[in-house]
Structure 1
């Protein structure tokens, strides 16, 4: 693909992300406008609503000023000015998905860096233009926050997606960071699932309160549909709130009102149906919810114990858990900044969790759960049972490969003695026989063969193989039987029996095949787990 065409596609992805972010709130607002009979001036308000909602999803903020008449109608004593800065994170996720898609395509075209830079700048420019065009005295988007938020929301996921193909090489050079990334991904998935479980339990328990809020809004069918979609756009926000609630800091619902596991103290709330999931009163059993994120981080970090990272040193695993906990705490703080913020004057100056306390709580849960997870034995949580010696399968494979390499290479006597002391005494008979043969060859090649002659009486008793002794005795017996049979055939040649071939050569080959089959089968059992498929079925192990 030509460079110019690839850059054009990267710019098109930025435009597509902006159009999708504007289209969804525009369709919702236009539906309500059409359901009310298309009143005059509604089209302009519809466009402004869609633009302001999209800018809020990028981390922007709106400066709202209510004149005296409007403020008095709402119960205030005079003009009111406040800032609205809470992002509907459902639209934010849409922008993130499109940004990652465009970055991957740019990386495939070989222009990862330039593609990300061009698309991010264009997306930020579009946000700035929309912010400037939709400004009005009552509601004015804050320009710098719109541009900066758009650049971060689009640029960060695009950059991560662009550099991801190169992370494998980076991980080879920095194994600690690679292991930390694996642990962080596992714990992030665990925290996400735990937050979803807590929020789902709250929805089930508070469904009656949610429906009562819907009914109190007195919406027509079309308005109810639009309100439902707006709650879906805010659903990721409530996932972040559930994380803060289950880890301890809780959620602030205006000045002097909060909801934590220790109890709920609420005042008048905005008419938001999902606020019905907040539990009422105080219940000691709610403290059990803290177990959910702990289990999430423990299971997530324990996932590395099922791959090659399972055999990383303990110090490296502990360091990876600490680094992953710091990363998750930072990400949790950034998510809280998007999921919470001011929505009105005075007591509504902040709604949502505290970024600082949420970061500290997530770091604590991730650190404790991560350390527990990375040091749990392999398969402990799934009930896998190991053998009595506790030898891991991969470690056993490595031992077998080392033994094979030692038998295949010409090594000196000192190295063989060290290997015999370190390795388990499971070497096959032909390995010990070959080692003795190598020692004999080295002795025969010396200048004074009489001085260094190998003496069988000096061999340690533990080096004598009983199987080899039985083999030699059987060969001697078979040779004697064969000699007697040949003498009998020479004496009576007419009495030749048509029995199967029982010559010493045939019997030797059969005994050799049986012995080699046992040896190959032992090696097969050493490197193959019971629950693995038999990948050696079509392989002649004797060859």
Structure 2
């Protein structure tokens, strides 16, 4: 009797787990529609702007389908895809558009996350991030396959990889508050390294943006002269300015590479670095008027080489103030070195997106060298962080150890009583 009555109970106990598995799959399916929404939020307006530019251009002989494919290729370029054109290729990402794509992905995942929280359902971090990233990457692959033509063809592999990178970044930012804890086996000095790395990268990008702003202010006359020489008209001028605005984050990464000392190229055999500038004939792009004149750079520009070191030191100092410091000098030094390595990897990825060919011939090499810049920044940030560790250790040793004496709250406070006489 007991055996017969236990079997139905066991079956009933199995049913809820099956329903929970089905519910979890149902919770993940909206992420696919979220991926579609994230793609269309940026792709449709971009194609629309290309169509508006085509309508405004009275000399254009392209078809509407070809113009739509140009918009799709620009969207894919923003995801790090390389686009083959007649006689060459284009591989520089307009990072302003990339940031819009990351924002769109974050917004789509946040909408799904809000529905999950309001319905009192759990947030499957890794499965949710994986489903959204895979769905977005497949959509980028489909866009690349559909937009291929004899004039331009985006690489399928780079489109898939870039789509996954953009979607993963946006989804990770959206789900960051619901991330699971790290495994217990991860050493504390490894955990303590990522915050200084992120802070140092933010400081370096800010420094690159300041370098770009200073160059634009200094060369504003040349920029305006090049813009007027193109005679783009009212609508064409607006579109030209908008296109260059989407490239400003890309140029900020160039400024970052300039502060590291490695510099960047604007064509084969050229170099723009704190040590000097060597340029050839450039395309008629107004923002290129902000580039420094060829020749030696003022000695004051060499002070920019201290920026990555200061960024590493400042990031570690902020980390030491906000969080519990890692115990042991050796562990703190290892964490500082690891933070520099992580910062170098992030900078190398950014430089890889901000560099590449722009056509054929001499313009086949434009932007910073990704691996070289990442390696140099890793060393500079690690040196700054290690310097902050050693200076902090020396400061604490010089100050000595404070001894806090707690006085009794009541009773006799005479010296004799306090000393236990």
What is the TM-score normalised by the length of structure 1? 0.65
Is the contact made by 1:189 and 1:300 (CA closer than 8 Å) also made in structure 2? no
Matches within 5 A, 1:114-133: 114-133=127-146
Pairwise CA distance, 1:62: 1.5
Pairwise CA distance, 1:113: 2.6
The residue number in structure 1 matching 2:91 is 85
Q: Distance in 1 between matches of 2:360 and 2:303?
A: 35
Q: Distance in 2 between matches of 1:29 and 1:247?
A: 36
Q: Distance in 1 between matches of 2:326 and 2:137?
A: 45
Distance 1:91 1:471, change over 3 A: closer
Pairwise CA distance, 1:155: 2.6
Q: Does 1:36 align with 2:60?
A: no
Q: Does 1:193 align with 2:239?
A: no
Distance 1:50 1:364, change over 3 A: same
| Of 228, 233, 243, the match for 1:215 | 228
Judge which range, 9-18 or 38-47, deviates more. 38-47
Is the contact made by 1:250 and 1:353 (CA closer than 8 Å) also made in structure 2? yes
The residue number in structure 2 matching 1:363 is 378
Matches within 5 A, 1:258-407: 258-280=271-293, 281-283=295-297, 284-310=299-325, 312-377=327-392, 390-391=400-401
Pairwise CA distance, 1:47: 0.7
The residue number in structure 2 matching 1:496 is none
Structure with bigger RCO (C-alpha 8 Å, 6+ apart): 2
The residue number in structure 2 matching 1:77 is none
3-state SS, counterpart of residue 264 of structure 1: strand
Q: Does 1:245 align with 2:258?
A: yes
Q: Deviations over 1:128-157 (max 9, x none)?
A: 222122221122222222122212322355
Q: Distance in 2 between matches of 1:97 and 1:36?
A: 31
3-state SS, counterpart of residue 28 of structure 2: helix
Aligned residues: 388
RMSD: 3.2
Distance 1:169 1:117, change over 3 A: closer
| Of 227, 249, 254, the match for 1:236 | 249
Q: Distance in 1 between matches of 2:312 and 2:419?
A: 58
Distance 1:306 1:40, change over 3 A: same
3-state SS, counterpart of residue 340 of structure 1: coil
3-state SS, counterpart of residue 259 of structure 1: strand
Q: Deviations over 1:318-376 (max 9, x none)?
A: 11111111111111111111110011111111101111210121012101111123344
3-state SS, counterpart of residue 83 of structure 1: strand
Matches within 5 A, 1:45-60: 45-60=66-81
Q: Distance in 2 between matches of 1:327 and 1:471?
A: 56
Distance 1:39 1:86, change over 3 A: closer
Is the contact made by 2:223 and 2:290 (CA closer than 8 Å) also made in structure 1? yes
Distance 1:110 1:279, change over 3 A: same
Distance 1:470 1:150, change over 3 A: closer
Q: Distance in 2 between matches of 1:203 and 1:469?
A: 69
Pairwise CA distance, 1:192: 2.0
What is the TM-score normalised by the length of structure 2? 0.82
Q: Deviations over 1:244-300 (max 9, x none)?
A: 111111111111111111111111112222222221132222212223333222222
The residue number in structure 2 matching 1:100 is 106
The residue number in structure 2 matching 1:443 is none
Pairwise CA distance, 1:310: 4.1
Q: Distance in 2 between matches of 1:132 and 1:43?
A: 18
Distance 1:303 1:161, change over 3 A: same
Unaligned runs of 5+ in 1: 66-80, 381-385, 400-425, 434-464, 473-543
Distance 1:320 1:45, change over 3 A: same
Q: Distance in 2 between matches of 1:376 and 1:216?
A: 54
Pairwise CA distance, 1:303: 0.5
Q: Deviations over 1:471-525 (max 9, x none)?
A: 99xxxxxxxxxxxxxxxxxxxxxxxxxxxxxxxxxxxxxxxxxxxxxxxxxxxxx
Q: Distance in 1 between matches of 2:369 and 2:137?
A: 28
Distance 1:305 1:165, change over 3 A: same
Unaligned runs of 5+ in 2: 1-19
Distance 1:201 1:292, change over 3 A: farther
Distance 1:8 1:268, change over 3 A: same
Q: Distance in 2 between matches of 1:471 and 1:294?
A: 53
